[in-house]
Amino acid sequence: MPDYSTLTSQINQFKTAATALMTNANDPLNANELQLVGAALNQMGNTLGVADINNATTDAIAVINTAKNSAITAFNTGTNGTRLTEVESDVSVLEGKVTNIEGFVNTNSVQYTTLQSTVSALQTSLSTVPLSWRIATTNTTALNNERIFVNQGGITVTLPFSPTLGYTVQIKDATGAAATTNFTVLRNTEKIEGLAEDLIVNVNSASMTLVYVNATRGWVLT
């Protein structure tokens, strides 16, 4: 391959000569002279090693492609290639599972919403169901819909705090001796029959149901 240390100067010299020939108005180039210019261009290309450069570039590309293909083949048939193939397979499986999970979540989201609605309706229904009767022998606080046998004189039964419309409490004198040993129903900040007073039970075998109405009436006896 030729020495390219003077490549720039040689190209510039040729450009100067070619320009002078092409721009001479007094002596335009004829066909023979054009052929000579073409031959000179070809000779300059060979002199400058253009063909050598093209061939070397082509050879280098071929070597690179061969090395690339060999590396790909070696990788694919080696341990890492096997692992990559397994990873790709695992990824495909996981993608399928993710799709299934998304479908499951979407389906169950609808079912969960339906279940929430059902539970809310059930809670509403249960809120009106009276609790089982229980016996109170010491001071106690009643719950909504609770039913209490008072089996000890002198104790207190405190009504639920912050009740809402329809709260209900049933109370029964289980001893049958409330006239002798009273017990007290504490209003717990609300009124009873419109009065800001606790209810003293002093009638033997008294039985009552208290239902909450509003802040004005409070608990009323039914």
The pLDDT of residue 219 is: 98
φ and ψ of 199, to 5 deg: -105, 120
Task: Supply the pTM of this predicted model.
Answer: 0.46
φ and ψ of 68, to 5 deg: -60, -50
The pLDDT of residue 57 is: 74
In a domain, 216, yes or no: yes
Question: Could you tell me the two tokens for 178?
Answer: 């409330």
The pLDDT of residue 97 is: 84
In a domain, 206, yes or no: yes
- The CATH number given to whatever domain includes residue 186 is 2.60.120.640
In a domain, 41, yes or no: yes
Question: Could you tell me the two tokens for 30?
Answer: 């004829």
The pLDDT of residue 54 is: 66
In a domain, 152, yes or no: yes
Residues 110 and 171 in one domain: no
The pLDDT of residue 22 is: 63
Q: What is the spatial distance between Cα 198 and Cα 213, in angstroms, rounded to a whole number? A: 17
The pLDDT of residue 138 is: 97
Q: What is the mean pLDDT of each run of 10 residues along the chain (222 residues)?
A: 58 68 62 68 64 70 81 76 78 84 78 77 66 95 96 96 96 96 97 97 96 97 93
Residues 69 and 11 in one domain: yes
Residues 113 and 142 in one domain: no
3-state helix, strand, coil in the chain (%, to 5): 50, 20, 30
In a domain, 2, yes or no: no
Range of the domain at 107: 90-126
Residues 119 and 137 in one domain: no
101 residue type, one letter: I
Domain count of the chain?
3
Question: Could you tell me the two tokens for 190?
Answer: 């609300």
